[in-house]
Structure formats: C-alpha cells, structure tokens
Amino acid sequence: MTFKEEVAADIYGVFLQDDEFAEYHRIEGKSIPCVIDSDKGQPKNGGDMYALAEADFVVIAKTADLPERKEAGEVLNLDGRELTVAAWDEQSGMTVIGLQAPVMT
C-alpha cells in the first residue's frame, strides 16, 4: 500500500468514522458524517487553522457526500440553520467549508 493510499484509508477509516472523530449532521437535508469545528477559525499553535479566520463554523467532509459546490455568499443549511458560505475548498476527495452565521442586530 502506498503512503497516499494509507492516508486515504485513515481519512475514511478513522477521521470520518462516527465512533472516532466525525458526527452525523444534516447538510442540505442529507445526513452525512463530518467534523465540525466551531472555534471560529481562531489561530491554533500560532498558525491560522484552515486559513478561514472569518468563519464561524468549519465543516470537513467527504466531497462525494456533500451537495453541489456552493460559492462564497450562497446559503448552506446545516442542521436546520441557514449559514452563509465563506469558503469552499475541495482537495483529494475532502472538502473544507467555512460558514458564517447571520449577524443579529
């Protein structure tokens, strides 16, 4: 098995397993395993985690499980909440989505 294959196996066999890291959330009405970081994109260990400093939530999921790609400014429904897409980055079968909650005035 190549290193690339080993990493892919870890992503799907560990990181996205609901008994390890992932939890099931409803995205656009479909229940999928994903990891949600709600640390508002705050820097971690002196660096900028995911480079999404403007995001209130970061969703990490398998690209194939997600709906069609949305552009910044479009709305995505996460667990019944309408959130605005700040960023959508797909790489090697995984997607990182930065989401912003509406500002209440």
Query: Would you kindly state where each structural domain of the chain is located, as residue ranges?
Result: 3-100
3-100 folds as: Thrombin, subunit H (2.40.10)
Angle CA(47)–CA(84)–CA(14) in degrees, nearest 5? 55
pTM over 0.85: no
Alpha-carbon dihedral angle through residues 94, 59, 49, 4, given to the nearest 10 degrees:
-20
Q: What pLDDT, on a 0 to 100 scale, did the predictor assign at position 39?
A: 64
Half-sphere exposure of 82 (CA within 13 A, CB side): 5
Tens place of pLDDT per residue across the chain (105 aa): 888 777 667 666 666 777 777 899 999 999 999 999 876 545 444 445 545 556 788 999 999 999 999 999 999 999 999 999 999 999 888 999 999 988 665
Q: What pLDDT, on a 0 to 100 scale, did the predictor assign at position 41?
A: 47
